[in-house]
Structure 1
Amino acid sequence: MKETKPPIIVIKKKKKHGRHESHGAWKIAYADFMTAMMAFFMVMWLISIADPQKLESLAEYFRMPLHVAMSPGKYQSDATNIIPGGEAGHDTQSIQSIPQPTAREKEKERDRQALQRLKNKIENILSTDPRLKALRSQLFITMIERGLRIQIVDSHQRPMFLKGSAKIEPYMMDILHALAPIFNDVPNKISIAGHTDDSPYLMGDRGFSNWELSTQRANSSRRELVRAGLTERKVIRIIGMSDTMNVKGLKADAPENRRISVLILTKEAQSDIEKENDQGQALTISAADDLVQAITPHGKVVEESHHVSTQEKK
């Protein structure tokens, strides 16, 4: 047999050439270069048009950036300096600290916070006490500059007093009896004012009038508060206002003008009232001294009378 030779297999391998990964890198570098040049020329242009004062501020910032940033200057929104937060020419000694509240301001803040807590407590009682829920519309509680004001207003359905009288109705008693122990929870003193509408009495000011009625109603409220447990020395003032201060926005004959206003005074307001009394006493003493000096020149008569009284005592 004829011997067969195996076929010859020729494998041709193509030589692979390495890929050039960096053929576009120069474009990126060129773009970066152009951007930098553009920024450079922009800065040069801004410097060329800037006035010397702005250039000085700019130079100061780059010399001591932290110092300039901390220096007091105008706010960024209205700053004339090109570097917000500082002004040229300031040194570190001009840095101002945040002003701290004084002892008086801290005391006033604590006082108002205590009155605010009292307001929240009263409002909570008004919403939970079954006796007072129906009367909630007749009470107005507001914080004013001189303290916490609680106004108890009249209505056609539930008058606080008998008509033309200072006799308290049961509705009013319920309110005062609920408030009395709460007022004792704070050391602040109380001012009570009575108000009426403009309905006149037949005798007018020559007899019993709204002035007497408003004063008597305020004092009746004080007596009822004391009867309900209020410390008697808590009340510093009783005022009758007649119809001189009506509720804003209401007619003069509106029932809401018939009201009792209880003001729990801030300590500052209380101090002002007490100073009025002190000043009045000082004026009285001064006037008395002037009178004595006017009728007793050089104090001779005073000395003689003092000598006589001394002899009598002996």
Structure 2
Amino acid sequence: MARGNGGGGEALRPIIIKKVKKRGHGHHGGSWKVAFADFATAMMAFFLLLWLMGSTTEQQKGAISEYFNNPSGAAGASTAPSSSAVQGPGGASTSMIQLGGAMELHTASDIQEAPASNDDEAEKRAEELDRERLAALMNELKQAIEAREALAKFKDQILLDITPEGVRIQIIDHERRSMFPLGSSRLEEFTAKILYELANIIKTVPNRISISGHTDIKPYVANNYSNWELSADRANAARRALIVGGLPQEKVGRVVGLASSVLLDTAVPDSPVNRRISIIVMNRRTEEAILHENGTLLAVQPDGASPSSEGSTGGAAAPIAAVSPIGLPQ
């Protein structure tokens, strides 16, 4: 708006203020965002790779390495070019990242070539632990026979010894006290109690057991029934009593009747001690021999050792003096 200067002079010029807006240089202002996103993606992929490498096993790393050496589905039919002096092994795409192993490191040939000393040492250690376990069982049985009333009263009828097959427990007849009625496989009450107590001790070890029944030389006269059937029935009666006493059924590895073929006292074939139930807590070798159905326990005998009385059905048994009795009357 023009104002006068009081004398009708020339009007003042209006003051004009102009606002100038600066424009950007096209779309180049956001390019750094794209570069940063690429960088962040690359770093994420890198750290993901490190995490995967740290969490995979040697076998998995070997499988990954084998895949890059042979991407085809068929073993031995690699689609990668063959190695050359220029391209190196596996063609041009050689890996700069060492995965710490390859499939070749785990082939069957290498497993066969691995030293067998580790397996031998493990086997020796297992057998040593087995011997220690059975020795501890023997000590526990001896203490129980002295301390437990159900066993102490009949300790003159319980024999303990260690055979090449394991720890052997024999319950023998006494002149005035038999485990079974004459010609019967029914357990007397005291025999069942002995077996119940033994079951509580035997079940504490993982070893399986073998049960055999024996008779004296006196023949059992009946139609289609002899000392063979009687000894087998008595062995099964002992097996049932042990299971009632708490022994798991799967711990029974063998039940046999041997009649009078393996006498404990060969000098007196009709002696009451020949009528007995024999329970062997088997060692590892005997268990394996039975499981593989070798048909004989002679294979588990150590070099130079004589066969056990339980391992042969035709040979002479060890004399009674060779057994380590607990309270056996002289």
Question: Which secondary structure does the structure 2 equivalent of 1:178 belong to?
Answer: helix
The Cα offsets for residues 276-304 of structure 1, whole Å up to 9 and x where unpaired, read as 179xxxxxxxxxxxxxxxxxxxxxxxxxx
Change in Cα spacing, 1:164 to 1:142, as seen in structure 2 (3 Å) is same
Q: Distance in 1 between matches of 2:207 and 2:189?
A: 27
Match of 1:251 in 2: 268
Matches within 5 A, 1:190-269: 190-203=209-222, 207-269=224-286
Q: Distance in 2 between matches of 1:276 and 1:127?
A: 38
Question: Which secondary structure does the structure 2 equivalent of 1:142 belong to?
Answer: strand
Match of 2:175 in 1: 156
Residue 199 of structure 1, CA deviation: 1.0
Q: CA RMSD in A?
A: 1.8
Q: Distance in 2 between matches of 1:103 and 1:247?
A: 37
Contact 2:265–2:273 (8 Å) recurs in 1: no
Counterpart of 1:275 (choices 292, 310, 313) is: 292
Q: Distance in 1 between matches of 2:269 and 2:249?
A: 33
Matches within 5 A, 1:163-174: 163-174=182-193
Residue 248 of structure 1, CA deviation: 3.8
Contact 1:193–1:260 (8 Å) recurs in 2: yes
Question: Which secondary structure does the structure 1 equivalent of 2:206 belong to?
Answer: coil
Match of 1:93 in 2: none
Match of 1:181 in 2: 200
Q: Distance in 1 between matches of 2:267 and 2:196?
A: 29
The Cα offsets for residues 239-258 of structure 1, whole Å up to 9 and x where unpaired, read as 10000010144411000000
Change in Cα spacing, 1:251 to 1:188, as seen in structure 2 (3 Å) is same
Which letter does structure 2 place at the counterpart of 1:193? S
Counterpart of 2:140 (choices 121, 138, 141) is: 121
Matches within 5 A, 1:1-314: 102-203=121-222, 207-276=224-293
Higher helix fraction: Structure 1 or Structure 2? 1
The Cα offsets for residues 162-206 of structure 1, whole Å up to 9 and x where unpaired, read as 110000011211210101111111110010000000111224xx6
Which letter does structure 2 place at the counterpart of 1:198? I
**TM (normalized to structure 2)?**
0.52
Which letter does structure 2 place at the counterpart of 1:273? I
Which letter does structure 1 place at the counterpart of 2:257? G
Residue segments in structure 2 that go unaligned for 5+ positions in a row: 1-119, 296-330
Identity, % of aligned pairs? Answer: 38
Question: Which secondary structure does the structure 1 equivalent of 2:292 belong to?
Answer: helix
Q: Distance in 1 between matches of 2:123 and 2:169?
A: 26
Question: Which secondary structure does the structure 2 equivalent of 1:112 belong to?
Answer: helix
Which letter does structure 2 place at the counterpart of 1:251? V
Q: Distance in 1 between matches of 2:276 and 2:126?
A: 32
Which letter does structure 1 place at the counterpart of 2:264? V
Q: Distance in 2 between matches of 1:277 and 1:264?
A: 18
Question: Which secondary structure does the structure 2 equivalent of 1:102 belong to?
Answer: helix
Question: Which secondary structure does the structure 1 equivalent of 2:228 belong to?
Answer: helix
The Cα offsets for residues 246-277 of structure 1, whole Å up to 9 and x where unpaired, read as 01444110000000000000011101110117
Contact 1:158–1:171 (8 Å) recurs in 2: no
Change in Cα spacing, 1:171 to 1:250, as seen in structure 2 (3 Å) is farther
Residue 219 of structure 1, CA deviation: 0.1
The Cα offsets for residues 70-113 of structure 1, whole Å up to 9 and x where unpaired, read as xxxxxxxxxxxxxxxxxxxxxxxxxxxxxxx7322221111011
Question: Which secondary structure does the structure 1 equivalent of 2:221 belong to?
Answer: coil
**Greater relative CO, 1 or 2 (CA 8 Å, sep 6+):** 2
**TM (normalized to structure 1)?**
0.54
Contact 2:210–2:280 (8 Å) recurs in 1: yes
Contact 1:127–1:133 (8 Å) recurs in 2: yes
Question: Which secondary structure does the structure 2 equivalent of 1:165 belong to?
Answer: coil
Runs of 4+ in 1 over 3 A off after TM superposition: none
